Chain A
Amino acid sequence: DAGVTQSPTHLIKTRGQQVTLRCSPKSGHDTVSWYQQALGQGPQFIFQYYEEEERQRGNFPDRFSGHQFPNYSSELNVNALLLGDSALYLCASGEGGGNYGYTFGSGTRLTVV
């Protein structure tokens, strides 16, 4: 049973560019959340998607946007990249809000230079 799959695993971008990260949720899961984890810190909630709509959003600027597709997969887009956007981006999937816990992917390591 495949868990949460994220791609790519590593990415290097230049300041000012745009990036798209992708996530395939665990089979049977319909809710996808995105988190940003800076080095040495705990993950910070970016937003959650359910039924193809953004259901909740954390304290992140509008440069961070996302999308959920009918097959429940999701994308995270970040525009006008800043050096401070360098982090591990984690995708977590759950059922109907993750009442029984979320399954996390291994993340995408984004480096902005």
Chain B
Amino acid sequence: DAKTTQPNSMESNEEEPVHLPCNHSTISGTDYIHWYRQLPSQGPEYVIHGLTSNVNNRMASLAIAEDRKSSTLILHRATLRDAAVYYCILRDVGGTSYGKLTFGQGTILTVHP
């Protein structure tokens, strides 16, 4: 499984933008970049995913480097409810991977009021 590297923790202030980085230097051509987050006492929640182009949805934006070896999840205005563990995951859609998600340690995001 291709691996991702994320900082262990990050901090932000409420209503400020947050940029969560992820390195995935061994990404293959069939790997999608997925982001999930896990709030305390809950299961992971899908945030966003992309392949090559930058992506936007109601929760966040995903900026993907041109060589695809890194990506950044952008929360445009952090709220206290965004405090969670954020996981960057490479999901292989080729072969017989069938969409298994391989979670790393993730980034613990703390949002200060």
Known A42-B87, A101-B49; judge A92-B43 contact (CB<8 A): yes
Return chain A residues, CB-CB under 8 Å to B43.
Answer: 4, 90, 92, 104-107
Return chain B residues, CB-CB under 8 Å to A90.
Answer: 43-44
Of the listed stretches A44-52, A66-74, A77-85, chain B binds A44-52
Mark out the residues of chain A between 6 and 60 whose CB falls within 8 Å of any chain B CB in the assembled complex.
Answer: 31, 33, 35, 41-45, 48, 50, 55-56, 58
Closest chain A residue, CB of each to CB of B42? A106
- The listed residue with most A CB atoms (<10 A of its CB), out of B34, B49, B101, is B101
Is there contact, CB below 8 Å, between B97 and A56? yes
Report the minimum CB–CB distance from B94 to chain A (whole Å): 12
Determine the distance from Cα of A42 to Cα of B85 in the docked complex, in whole angstroms.
Answer: 9
Closest chain B residue, CB of each to CB of A41? B105
Q: Which of A41, A48, A106 contacts B99 (CB 8 A)?
A: A48
Classify chain A's interface size.
20 to 34
Determine the distance from Cα of A44 to Cα of B46 in the docked complex, in whole angstroms.
Answer: 16
Is there contact, CB below 8 Å, between B98 and A97? yes
Known A42-B106, A104-B45; judge A99-B100 contact (CB<8 A): no
Q: How many A-B residue pairs have CB under 8 A?
A: 58
Known A101-B34, A101-B49; judge A43-B97 contact (CB<8 A): no
Determine the distance from Cα of A41 to Cα of B103 in the docked complex, in whole angstroms.
Answer: 9
Query: Cβ of A65 < 8 Å from any Cβ of B?
Result: no
Return chain A residues, CB-CB under 8 Å to B65.
Answer: none
Return chain A residues, CB-CB under 8 Å to B87.
Answer: 42
Determine the distance from Cα of A112 to Cα of B5 in the docked complex, in whole angstroms.
Answer: 32
Determine the distance from Cα of A71 to Cα of B41 in the docked complex, in whole angstroms.
Answer: 28
Is there contact, CB below 8 Å, between B44 and A104? yes
Determine the distance from Cα of A67 to Cα of B100 in the docked complex, in whole angstroms.
Answer: 17
Is there contact, CB below 8 Å, between A48 and B34? no
Q: List 29 A-B contacts (CB under 8 A).
A: A4-B43, A33-B99, A33-B101, A35-B101, A41-B105, A42-B85, A42-B87, A42-B103, A42-B104, A43-B101, A44-B103, A45-B102, A48-B100, A55-B98, A56-B96, A56-B100, A58-B100, A90-B43, A90-B44, A94-B99, A97-B98, A99-B99, A100-B49, A101-B34, A102-B99, A102-B101, A104-B45, A106-B43, A107-B43
